[in-house]
Amino acid sequence: MESTTKTINQTISRATLALAIVAAFAISGCESMRTGTDTASTANKGAKESQHAEVKGMSGKPDAQMQAVLDQLAALGGKPIVSLSAEEARKQPTPADAVKALLQSQGKSTAPMPVARVQDGEIPGPAGPIKARIYTPDGAGPFPVIVYYHGGGWVIANLDTYDASPRALANAAKAIVVSSHYRQAPEHKFPAAHEDAFAAYQWVLNNAVAFNGNPNRVSVVGESAGGNLAAAVALMAREAKLPMPVHQVLVYPVANAQIGSESEQQNAEAKPLNTPMLTWFYEKYLPTPADKNSPLIALTEVADLKGLPPATIITAQIDPLRSEGRAYAEKLEQAGVPVDYRNYEGVTHEFFGMGAVVDKAKEAVQQAAAGILGANKVSSR
């Protein structure tokens, strides 16, 4: 525990250095652990799904809706990430692009889910301004707040790539969502992204009132590498003795950078994320192999998880990160932290933001929102 605290506190110290004076947001426009598998949306299985043979290197068959997205992604002709530089990888087609292409092929609108207000701007960070986007739902407020961290292995993707998830969460959880970017590797190595994530959380605590948010009802949500950031922020807040998030939603989080888990073996060749890509991301972000042991990366190895916020943890069957997400859920539960864990069958990494075309994404968003809504009710008593 002593070494864990020291490592986390070193990152906290760097993250707070540039936050002595917090600037205003610069506007530029515009239950107990549940381990059962998903049983809903079975209407989409059957004949269509049976057309797709099980793929080698994957732990199951995508359902029909998920397969349609994967087919579109393949048709976009992206190159294998592991063969590219980080700069080249950032230009490749994304699952979000595949969703848009699928909607177009179905003759449906590609307009994003509407929310009452969207504002782009910057918040102060340890090494300079951090791009952020605030999504405000309908209503009078003051609203609960979600600090959201996008995925991309700490290397690729941005606020635009992960625009669908914050919109869905704002509406479902009836909360303001502050989607925060962060410095990315390899230009900025660990713990740069973690420092920025913690800085964004502190900024929200200090400035929520200014954008009609409630600073006493702040949750953290993240997907993939962003899920790791959200969990790490909760740990950092505990060590810094700051108000902790009232809830944490971790969607297929990176919870351990050691390769070799059951799901990493089963999904070694999965799409859109496979096991070699994990190695590529870790090599880009972590300065040395020893950094895999940091408590901010190896969440499943943290000795003391007591007192952390209740958690909703969501994983996908066809995802190399499935095992470590479940392992972290179990570790939290063993520490007495309330956890609502669910693994969604027939879907892959990145499914969470695909509610426009994948029904299980809608279910996952509702699960996440239920955890946040429940925590907000408790915090308002």
Determine whether 224 is an active site residue.
yes
Crossing angle of helices 192-207 and 225-239, in 10° steps, is 60
Q: Check 165, 180, 224, 323 and give the catalytic one.
A: 224
**Tens-digit pLDDT profile for residues 77-102:** 999 999 999 999 999 999 999 999 99
Among 319, 323, 340, 359, the one annotated catalytic: 319
Compute the residue count for the chain: 381
Question: Looking at the predicted structure, is the pLDDT value of residue 309 above 80?
Answer: yes
Across residues 107-115, what is the average pLDDT? 98
- Asked, as a colleague might, if the bond just before 80 is cis with ω within 30 of 0, I would say no
Q: Which residue has the tokens 């943890």?
A: 313
pLDDT at position 14 is: 59
- Kindly list the distances between the CA atom of residue 101 and the CA atoms of 60, 97, 219, 272, in Å, as whole numbers in the listed order: 24, 6, 32, 16
- Residue 151: pLDDT band with limits 50, 70, 90: very high
What's the rounded Cα separation, in Å, for the pair 90 and 138?
A: 33
Q: What is the pLDDT of residues 250-304, one digit of tens each?
A: 999 999 999 999 999 999 999 999 999 999 999 999 999 999 999 999 999 999 9
- The yes-or-no verdict on residue 11 having pLDDT over 70 is no
Share of the chain above pLDDT 90, in %: 83
pTM, entire model: 0.90
Compute the distance between CA of residue 12 and CA of residue 5 in angstroms, rounded to an integer.
10
DSSP, collapsed to helix, strand or coil, labels residue 24 as coil
Residue the block writes with tokens 């859109």: 272
Q: Is 63 a catalytic residue?
A: no
> Treating both helix axes as pointing N-terminal to C-terminal, what angle do 359-379 and 164-173 enclose, rounded to 10 degrees?
50
Token code pair at residue 114: 């509407």
pLDDT of residue 378: 83
DSSP-based three-state secondary structure for 341: strand
**Per-residue tokens: 292:** 């895999």
Average pLDDT over residues 6-22: 50
Catalytic residue among 63, 323, 349, 359: 349
Q: Is the pLDDT of residue 55 over 90?
A: no
pLDDT of residue 202: 98
**DSSP reduced 3-state for 290:** helix
The pLDDT-based confidence of 8 (bands split at 50, 70, 90) is low
| Strand blocks (E) in 104-192 | 117-123, 130-136, 143-149, 176-180
379 catalytic? Reply is: no
- Residue 377 in this model has a pLDDT that exceeds 50: yes
* Residue 341 structure tokens: 């864990």
Q: Give me the mean pLDDT over the 138-157 stretch.
A: 98
Residue 308 has pLDDT above 90, yes or no: yes
